[in-house]
Structure 1
């Protein structure tokens, strides 16, 4: 078997190169296209411009008042006419696209039209509905109109027996709802099946489960390394399944799996869409330990994906470098922009010398539309918008207004709006949003 391994690797490499060639007939043979990150890791460029992915930039200063003061943003959703900001402490704020405060959605309380706490916000633009998901409310999903008025109860039971882990989300796409969860296992007795993604009906009953292939056959080991037994034990955990809904197409990537899948609405299956070659990878145990060994960061590890009309972007890390790969869908060419980052280390007092390690990472492109530095994708919305949430004090400190006025940009109207905003904001105002509309 060892003698066959070099030939197998050579075959895979050659097959990958042929699929990246737009003239290759193998692109039409039903097999997923291959993206060779490891083989193109030195195809570096100084920066990747935002204008390659987005056609328009809106600079929005969110109105600051006693009724609309935001303490901390958890999520932002943008629609054609509205902006919804989820503040864990203050609730859901609705603004128009110019940043004028309109109303709040949902009221905290135990009444039939109130909600005790909000874990997650989902927006249905077509029906003008806001879904609020609570972990502790007896009726754990409540639905409101955009104007903030109560509409109905979306789910009358708590979902505590559905998930096995502490981190769980409901993911909406078109008229579908999916459940997402990740390791570690917390509630072994509730759900021994280790699934990562699940399709539900409109009442949030699971119809079909989807399993991370990297977890297959490891159930017993995963349960042995679960959270309830950890103490100072180094239990196993992983990231959530990463998703993107650009152009009303759902694609996703399981944590630790170098395959990107596309959702087929006809057969309700996730089918291989791209195969990623990342080179040598860490062992399962090294990749999933909560307390990461420093050696883990020596491997090229893909964290997130961002889909657009012409390019697929993949955010990866290796050592203390963030790698932003840009895959050209037409030509198959790959370019990568690299930026230094930091591996955060946080020791735990009283532990046996445990140090939590995590690579600080953000997907950033050069903001050549409005100017003002790099554009960080903090939130994706409706498969159409990328949102960069910026603190006013940071903008005032980091942007040279005179340089901004004379700099070359693709969208001069957006640049002029940014200059205007910088001349009026105060350091303690609500965030300023950079909203990029994808091509």
Structure 2
């Protein structure tokens, strides 16, 4: 009996060790995906020899005006991970503490919150990033954990729709395409690693910007702050 138990445990151990990360059901297959290539007939050099340092006073002299808006504190914001200011609203993303989006008027009044955290069809498991489309009046919520994109109305925060996406940390939506910014190895693909995946929902169209070994263990920051 002991010999049988030892044999079973050994077999399970060997099977586990022999399982490649490439066979992970979460792995993205990218072998046939087109690579983004940046080409230009005449390279444009970035020159820093004429750059100069300016102090805070000089910088403030260039600012036309500064407005201070006291925000309604009836529902406290934990951390401001991202803020988007439009013509009539202020959108604040608290991704990790409250895990909500707070929407204020330009007078600082809290209009509504997007707090649909859960596992339902109209809910998100995580809220890593947001985009605000002032043309379609939509808020795009990036649920990186569930690999989905959720849309809410900018008018009242009502749920609009949910789309299947791909693995990412941060997200930008341009026309019908999604620009997915990935952390190293986030695609669970043992053979390929790319910082940018361009997709149409969950269909990957392009891949680009392969990280160097120096970047593999680095912390990444949201480069999609501005629309």
Q: TM-score, normalised by structure 2?
A: 0.66
1:316-373 Cα deviation digits (max 9, x unpaired):
xxxxxxxxxxxxxxxxxxxxxxxxxxxxxxxxxxxxxxxxxxxxxxxxxxxxxxxxxx
Tell me the CA shift for residue 174 of structure 1.
5.2
1:242-293 Cα deviation digits (max 9, x unpaired):
857xxxxxxxxxxxxxxxxxxxxxxxxxxxxxxxxxxxxxxxxxxxxxxxxx
1:140 aligns with 2:148: yes
Tell me the CA shift for residue 186 of structure 1.
5.8
Tell me the CA shift for residue 116 of structure 1.
2.9
* Map of 2:124 onto structure 1: 115
Q: Which has the higher helix share?
A: 1
1:17-53 Cα deviation digits (max 9, x unpaired):
xxxxxxxxxxxx962432332x457x4444551454x
1:89 aligns with 2:89: no
Q: Is the 8 A contact 2:187 2:193 kept in 1?
A: no
Q: CA RMSD in A?
A: 3.2
Q: Which has the higher strand share?
A: 1
Total equivalences in the alignment? 184
Q: Is the 8 A contact 1:180 1:240 kept in 2?
A: no
* Map of 1:237 onto structure 2: 217
Distance of 1:74 and 1:170 partners within structure 2:
14
2:82 pairs, out of 65, 75, 79, with: 75
The gaps in structure 1 that reach 5 residues or longer are 1-28, 216-221, 226-234, 245-379, 383-439
* Map of 2:207 onto structure 1: 209
SS of match in other structure, 1:58: coil
Q: Is the 8 A contact 1:199 1:206 kept in 2?
A: yes
Distance of 1:141 and 1:93 partners within structure 2:
18
* Map of 1:359 onto structure 2: none
Alpha-carbon distance change, 121 to 242 in structure 1, aligned in 2, over 3 angstroms: closer
* Map of 2:44 onto structure 1: 33
Alpha-carbon distance change, 126 to 181 in structure 1, aligned in 2, over 3 angstroms: same
Distance of 2:180 and 2:218 partners within structure 1:
16
* Map of 1:170 onto structure 2: 171
SS of match in other structure, 1:49: helix
Alpha-carbon distance change, 57 to 204 in structure 1, aligned in 2, over 3 angstroms: farther
SS of match in other structure, 2:46: strand
Q: TM-score, normalised by structure 1?
A: 0.37
